Amino acid sequence: MKTRILALLFGATLLIASSAYASEDKSSKSAKSVSGYVVHSIIDGRQARTAYDKKGKWVYTIQQYSIDNLDANIVDRVRSVYYAYGVTGIQKVEQPGMAPVYIVHLENTKSIKLVRLTDDEIELVQDFVKG
């Protein structure tokens, strides 16, 4: 289960980082793929992607928090452990039947970290040393 979530999070993080978002539109639907649809929208002022399978069943939603609208509770929880780092972004991943998972991007002068945050756990997922 944890592996499935991490695989989804990494894929989603790469997808979010490399894709353009809808600007003024409240939502737009991407082209139909073999496996379903991805809808681009704005949820509470955050860019979001929601995937549905080909039968219309919700698969996941990923919300992208920008520097301007970071969740203070999430930032405070992460900074209590990684106090020497600044938060540069957050993704909230929601899937049916599961609690939300947050991927928090942290950075300081020496490294960049990706941290996975759930209701009861903070886990370092990746650590990139700046060269």
Q: Which residue would you say has higher pLDDT here, 81 or 72?
A: 81
Q: Which two tokens stand for residue 58?
A: 């919700």
pLDDT (average), residues 90-104: 95
What's the pLDDT tens digit per position in 54-77? 899 999 999 998 877 878 888 899
The topology under which CATH files domain 2-129 is: Nuclear Transport Factor 2; Chain: A, (3.10.450)
Residue 34 confidence class, pLDDT cut points 50, 70, 90: low
pLDDT surpassing 70 at residue 19:
no
Report the distance separating Cα 93 and Cα 64, nearest Å.
9
Domain assignments of the chain as residue spans, ordered by start: 2-129
23: pLDDT strictly greater than 50: no
Mean pLDDT of 94-116: 95
CB-based contacts of 61, cutoff 8 Å, min separation 6: 43, 48, 49, 50, 51, 93, 94
Residue with tokens 């695989």: 7
Q: Does residue 27 surpass a pLDDT of 80?
A: no
Average pLDDT score over residue span 97-112: 95
Show contacts of 104-112: CB within 8 Å, 24+ apart.
104/74, 104/75, 104/78, 106/78, 106/82, 108/84
pLDDT value for 17: 37
**Residue 5 phi, psi (nearest 5):** -65, -45
Which comes out higher in pLDDT, residue 25 or 91?
91
